Amino acid sequence: MRHTRKLFIAAGYGLALGFSAAAGAADTQAIAAALKQALPGIAPDSIQPSPVKGLFEVVVGPKLFYVSEDGRYLIQGSLIDAKERKDLTEARLTGARLNALNKVGLGKMIVFKPKNPKHVAYVFTDIDCGYCRKLHSEIDQYLREGIEIRYLFFPRAGEGSDSYYKAVSVWCAKDRNQALTRAKRGEAPERKECDNPVDEHMALGNAMGATGTPMIVTEQGNLLPGYVPAAQLSRILAQEDATAQSKQ
């Protein structure tokens, strides 16, 4: 999974040859077959018609791109409704991000739960990141706001770094929440190894386009890069909920 992002970067150069075999077959099965040939091992979560005639929307994890109906051309980027001035791609990506997070599952996250839950926020974190430590030092404020914090690891220095092994050690600790809090305070965790989801977290963060930490994913699937104070995050989440309810 760690190479998913690289595959998508390369896709724009290599997919035309793979799709040409499916030229003339205007259906999702042909597109799926072309994808399988061009990107072995990457299975689309969904293939469906886009709002633009002749263009299909393909979702893979938290990523979305478009494919022509003959299976030959791939487009990466945002689809904008110029009349409505609306980013149609971002609207669809929110759901894709949440689906990808749900596939990881709560059992592979470190969760801090409030007594009176109102909202949820997913936080990609680096133990040694200054603003990640600031956010966690205020964890009680987030909990008082009713925000459940669901942590995933994203050591920016990469696999094999000191930050990476700290993340693994925290996950392998008997009390992960306590171990994370201590590590965020600068206490070096006892070095441990076990089955862990750190690589999976990193791959997902990369697929979502993470360039720094903390990176927050809201309960509506929107991205908030960087530290957001508890009170401000609470307002953002409440506004998101109100907007989502108004559309129902």
What is the C-alpha to C-alpha distance for residues 234 and 120, in angstroms, rounded to an integer?
A: 10
Find where tokens 């040859």 sit: 17
What is the C-alpha to C-alpha distance for residues 108 and 127, in angstroms, rounded to an integer?
A: 17
Neighbours of 153 (CB within 10 A): 28
> Which contiguous run of DSSP H or E holds residue 34?
helix 28-38
Nearest to 64 by CA among 53, 82, 50, 52: 50
Catalytic residue selected from 72, 126, 128, 133: 126
- Residue 128 falls in the annotated catalytic set: no
Nearest to 183 by CA among 203, 156, 165, 199: 165
What is the C-alpha to C-alpha distance for residues 176 and 25, in angstroms, rounded to an integer?
A: 51
Catalytic residue selected from 92, 133, 150, 156: 156
Catalytic residue selected from 72, 128, 129, 133: 129
Distance of CA 46 to the CA centre of its chain: 17
- Residue 132 falls in the annotated catalytic set: yes
- Residue 172 falls in the annotated catalytic set: no
Catalytic residue selected from 92, 97, 128, 132: 132
Q: Which long-range contacts (CB under 8 A, 24 or more apart) does 232-241 make?
A: 233/121, 233/142, 233/145, 233/147, 234/118, 234/119, 234/145, 234/146, 234/147, 237/118, 237/119, 237/121, 237/147, 238/118, 238/119, 241/119
What is the C-alpha to C-alpha distance for residues 62 and 233, in angstroms, rounded to an integer?
A: 22
Under 8 Å between Cβ of 58 and 92: no
- Residue 133 falls in the annotated catalytic set: no
What is the C-alpha to C-alpha distance for residues 133 and 181, in angstroms, rounded to an integer?
A: 9
- Active-site residues, by number, are 126, 129, 132, 156
